[in-house]
């Protein structure tokens, strides 16, 4: 039995990695899915794949750091599917490694604009729609870096730490409005971001994992869908680590 028949899911950063896996999982569980990303070609490839598998999907080019893009993306989703039940704010970027005193201001702004401001802009639009319809679930992608320091990664870690505060505060704001807000904290996952982070030497990342392997994007998707489903109905304001013990 599929978990999301008649539901509508909205996924940012859907063109690759965790976002891609989660969009596919939502569609296979019966949801109508709006997929967004800045990169159009892989987004269109994902749209075609979901449609070929029998899913209902809307592909939207969207830069989450641009308010007009976000507003248009959520509005298009509601115009197409009539509502918005699950929002997975996954779009994010990694920083260029540097100690704090060497971080350029434009690099700091670049990371915070996407990872924190972008998530905030999405939540504003998503939650406004959920309030109109009387229910909804939001899941934000934080990171194991949201609960520990990262040498050379202050801007990324700061953005992800802030997401935890944003998630908890929003959970309190809407607890009585039938809207739940949670965060998933991935560890070292088999994605293109991890390839860039390690410079192609994936053993560096594996060595950091107590379980001795990288996580799969599908394992994060499983956690997101659980939080969005009725099985997670009493969970709000939570930060759930899915990281093979890395944050320990």
- Within 103-180, where are the H helices? 105-112, 118-133, 154-173
Instruction: Report the distance separating Cα 101 and Cα 157, nearest Å.
Output: 15
- Ranges assigned E (strand) in the chain: 8-11, 32-37, 57-61, 86-89, 136-141, 179-186, 239-242
Number of neighbours of residue 222 by Cβ within 10 angstroms:
15
Active site residue: 4, 156, 174, 246, which one?
Answer: 156
Helix (H/G/I), strand (E/B), else coil: 188: coil
Task: Please say if 156 is a catalytic residue.
Answer: yes
Instruction: Report the distance separating Cα 63 and Cα 155, nearest Å.
Output: 19
CA neighbor of 80 nearest in space, from 32, 152, 16, 128? 32
Tell me which residues are annotated as active site. 156
């Amino acid at each position: 039995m599929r978990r999301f028949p008649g539901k509508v899911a909205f996924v940012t950063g859907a063109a690759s990695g965790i976002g891609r896996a989660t969009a596919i999982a939502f569609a296979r569980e019966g949801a109508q899915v709006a997929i967004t990303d800045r990169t159009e070609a892989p987004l269109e490839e994902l749209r075609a794949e979901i449609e070929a598998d029998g899913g209902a999907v809307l592909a939207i080019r969207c830069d989450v750091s641009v308010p007009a893009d976000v507003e248009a993306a959520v509005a298009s989703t509601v115009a197409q599917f009539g509502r918005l039940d699950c929002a997975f704010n996954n779009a994010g970027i990694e920083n260029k490694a540097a100690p704090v005193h060497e971080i350029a201001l434009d690099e700091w702004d670049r990371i915070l604009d996407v990872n924190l401001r972008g998530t905030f802009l999405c939540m504003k639009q998503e939650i406004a729609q959920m309030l109109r319809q009387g229910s909804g679930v939001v899941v934000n992608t934080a990171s194991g870096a949201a609960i520990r320091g990262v040498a050379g990664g202050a801007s990324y870690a700061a953005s992800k730490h802030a997401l935890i505060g944003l998630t908890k505060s929003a959970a309190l704001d809407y607890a009585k409005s039938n809207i739940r807000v949670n965060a998933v904290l991935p560890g070292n996952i088999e994605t293109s971001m991890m390839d860039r982070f390690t410079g192609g030497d994936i053993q560096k990342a594996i060595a950091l994992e107590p379980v001795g392997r990288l996580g799969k994007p599908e394992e994060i998707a499983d956690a997101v869908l659980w939080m969005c489903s009725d099985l997670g109905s009493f969970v709000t304001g939570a930060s759930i680590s899915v990281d093979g013990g890395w944050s320990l």
